[in-house]
Amino acid sequence: MTSTANYLWSQEDILGQGATANVYKARNKKTGELVAVKVFNLVSYNRPYEVQMREFEVLQLLNHVNIVKLFAVEEIISNPKQKILVMEYCSGGSLLNMLEQPEHAFGLPESEFLIVLHCVAHGMNHLRENSVVHRDIKPGNIMRQVGEDGRSVYKLADFGAARELEDDEKFVSIYGTEEYLHPDMYERAVLRSPQQKAYGVSVDLWSIGVTIYHMATGSLPFRPFGGPRKNKQMMHKITTEKPAGTIAGVQKEEDGPIEWRDKLPLSCQLSEGLKTQLVPVLANILLADDEKCWKFPQFFSATNDILNRITIYIFSLQQATTYSIYIQFHNTVSIFFEDVQAQTGIEPAAQQYLFQGHPLILDPSMKVVNIPHTSSDKPMILISRRLERIIGYPFEEPESPPMPGKFDVVADFVFTKTIVKVIHQYLRIAYSLQEYRQFILQGFNSYIEQTSSEVIDVAHRISKVKMKLHSSISTEKTLHVFTQTFAHEFPDFIDSKKKFPLIEAELQHMCGRGIREFQNILQYLRVTLSKHSETLANDKSIQKMEVLLSQIVDVHFQYFRDRQTRKLGYNDEQIHKFEKLNLSSYLKKFKSLFKDDCFQKYLDVLNTTDRCSRALYDMQTHLDKFRDTLLQRIQDLKAHEILQNKVLERVVHRAVQQPVKAEVVDGKKKEEHMILKMTRLKSEMEAVAWELQKNNNMIESLSVVTPTMPVEKKNPQTNRP
């Protein structure tokens, strides 16, 4: 055990090793509190005194939640001349440790990525406020603390290369890790170029850019064939000749061309919405030319813009894919509609939304902060009123390296280390495919019920029009008795009543081949979706893949122990070979489950998506036509009612003005009775006309009475952790 006045540690509890110091996990002698102590080695003391003191001085300047805290500077009891730094202990390891985990081999999840971006940006902002340049930013120097709520807090660490430097100042000494070095520093430090060049604070921006790309994708942005440490000249060529707008360059073959990339890869876990915001930032800080490269104020402005946006998650039902809309909280829904169109291609007029199974009515003037809270597993459902091309879940299968044919403990270990990462990526894709199946089935079930409500509403309107048509026909029969002698005086009236049989046939067609057929189709779709839902509920492919993954990981740990041993005995060698056969079997089973079970069931649901989309689109088109037709027929019946009233007035007028014959007393009484009856008939027709007008107003509005989600006021939620 080694100790100072207040702390002690074991040499075995090493947390990290560097060129000038080692870091250990230590404890406070009085409280037992865990801390990290940085113990400097002999190489460190060979540096000039002012350089040795620089890390102490820099850390004393800084005080921020995203920078590792310095608690004390103490001396080792057994060697009073040897000073140590007592610092905050970060139990979560480093960002590099996170990226080395197999599940993060293709980058961090979006939620964790945003936390790191927030912490690094705010930590760097504190450095610039205190005129400090770090000069060795990389995932290994970004520590992770796990809070009481389980959320990560990342902190900049290792200020051994840091110094005070104003924005317009330069330095000439070389520090840093070569994969993350600015190209100018790389040329001098790695390629040993003799020129003396001064460097500014932008060297930290380059390192930040490489780190951001690394944590987004799991890989370095600039990769020459054979790796950056084996092909140094090509590494420098890639970083210095990078075209404007690109963010990565990869050489896949020896002496082969460089593949320039201006997008983040499909394999990373970030949404297209975030990628769109992030790529311009990377393109403008990964520039070797200091004049063209962004300065820190621009970087801070851009990252804060991303972090201050709220994220609205949507699932485009007919396209069968998800989108994340990053939008400023003060924007209106009309801007949200435009952002949705930019990603989906669906025009605002064609956008409809469901949330938690109910239609969600969004007023274009409403603020987006009042949209109900969504998440990646509870998105809004976007329905297009037009036919859309199916996109589905975009993914690419990870490349699997060939299994070594010969017995070789080192090669076998390297293979299993890679294959575990590949299998984790397959499993992540499988999770997403299953989640998409769930979104599709839930979305279409809600869409079907909404369409069913519309069908019922249109059927109700048809019944109303039918009732009024029959009322008009009944009135027509009554009027016919009194209008035989002067019907020719109303040609429009005669033409109008000729439409009655056509209207009746039209309504009959709507009910028969329309409404009843729609209801049958909807029931068929319900049954189809129910079968898929049952299949999904009983699907155990994911669980089987998880078991196989654990078995593959066990083989990997066995091979790790074998590599440590190097030379195996006969029995251990036979076990090693048997495990290799088992590993081959596990991989075949896993990939078969993915392809023939998980992916095939996803394709089956996609085919149902296509059929459902077309059927419901056709139904919506017909329902719209039915509404238009019903509106027209109401207008026709209204016009005929006006003509009926005119005819009725003429009948009453003629009856009143007929000469009365005194000798025919009974006839006079009969005439008076007839006049009274016609007057009552007119009153009845006026009541009918009023009822028709009321229903006409209802149909003219063409509003579908459906339950809507209440939209409540809420505080803005940004992407800040």
Q: What is the pLDDT of residue 291?
A: 86
| Residue 37 in this model has a pLDDT that exceeds 50 | yes
Residue among 53, 150, 132, 136 at smallest CA distance from 92: 150
Q: Which residue has the higher pLDDT, 576 or 633?
A: 576
Reported confidence tier of residue 173, pLDDT bands at 50, 70, 90: very low
Known binding residues: 38
Give the other-Cβ count within 10 Å of 411's Cβ: 15
Among 62-66, 78-82, 551-555, the least confident range: 78-82
Residue among 17, 21, 247, 210 at smallest CA distance from 120: 210
Q: 20 and 66 in contact (C-beta within 8 Å)?
A: no
* pLDDT, mean of residues 460-466: 83
Percent of the chain at pLDDT above 70?
Answer: 81
Give the other-Cβ count within 10 Å of 501's Cβ: 10
Strand ordering across the sheet containing 70-76: 2-3, 7-17, 21-28, 34-40, 79-88, 70-76
* pLDDT, mean of residues 18-29: 88
Contacts 24+ apart (CB under 8 A), 519-522: 519/452, 519/455, 521/615, 521/619, 522/448, 522/451, 522/452, 522/455, 522/619
User: Which residue type occupies 320?
Assistant: A
Q: 585 and 593 in contact (C-beta within 8 Å)?
A: no
Burial degree of 206 (CB within 10 A; 0-12, 13-18, 19+)? buried
Q: Collapsing DSSP states into helix, strand and coil, what is residue 406?
A: coil
Cα 634 to Cα 657: distance, rounded to the nearest angstrom = 35
465-475 residue pLDDT tens = 888 777 777 77
Report, as residue numbers or ranges, the catalytic residues: 136
Cα 270 to Cα 281: distance, rounded to the nearest angstrom = 15
* pLDDT, mean of residues 34-59: 78
637-670 residue pLDDT tens = 777 777 767 766 766 666 555 554 444 445 556 6
Among 38-47, 59-68, 186-195, 499-508, the least confident range: 186-195
Q: Collapsing DSSP states into helix, strand and coil, what is residue 673?
A: helix
Q: What is the pLDDT of residue 181?
A: 87
Residue 596: DSSP 8-state: I
Q: What is the pLDDT of residue 172?
A: 39
Q: Which residue has the higher pLDDT, 46 or 439?
A: 439
Residue among 718, 719, 715 at smallest CA distance from 110: 719
Known binding residues for ATP: 38
Q: What is the pLDDT of residue 630?
A: 84
How long, in residues, is the chain?
A: 721
Among 98-107, 217-226, 396-405, 698-707, the least confident range: 698-707
Q: What is the pLDDT of residue 486?
A: 55
Q: What is the pLDDT of residue 135?
A: 84
The whole-model pTM stands at: 0.84
Reported confidence tier of residue 627, pLDDT bands at 50, 70, 90: confident
* pLDDT, mean of residues 447-474: 85
Rounded to the nearest integer, the mean pLDDT of the chain is 85
* pLDDT, mean of residues 484-489: 55
* pLDDT, mean of residues 435-458: 94
262-278 residue pLDDT tens = 999 999 999 999 999 99
* pLDDT, mean of residues 204-231: 93
Q: 331 and 305 in contact (C-beta within 8 Å)?
A: no
Q: What is the pLDDT of residue 108?
A: 97
Cα angle value 152/158/163 (rounded, 5°) = 125
| Residue 170 in this model has a pLDDT that exceeds 50 | no
| Residue 544 in this model has a pLDDT that exceeds 90 | yes
| Residue 118 in this model has a pLDDT that exceeds 90 | yes
| Residue 222 in this model has a pLDDT that exceeds 70 | yes
Domains of the chain from N-terminus onward: 2-88 (3.30.200.20), 93-294 (1.10.510.10), 310-384 (3.10.20.90), 409-646 (1.20.1270.420)
- Beta partners for residue 75, in sequence order: 83
| Residue 713 in this model has a pLDDT that exceeds 70 | no
Q: 432 and 393 in contact (C-beta within 8 Å)?
A: yes
Contacts 24+ apart (CB under 8 A), 49-54: 54/162, 54/163
State the sign of the Cα–Cα–Cα–Cα dihedral 149, 151, 155, 158. Answer: positive
User: CA of 328: how far to CAs of 304, 345, 399, 716, in Å?
Assistant: 11, 20, 38, 10
Reported confidence tier of residue 168, pLDDT bands at 50, 70, 90: very low
Q: What is the pLDDT of residue 698?
A: 47
* pLDDT, mean of residues 313-330: 96
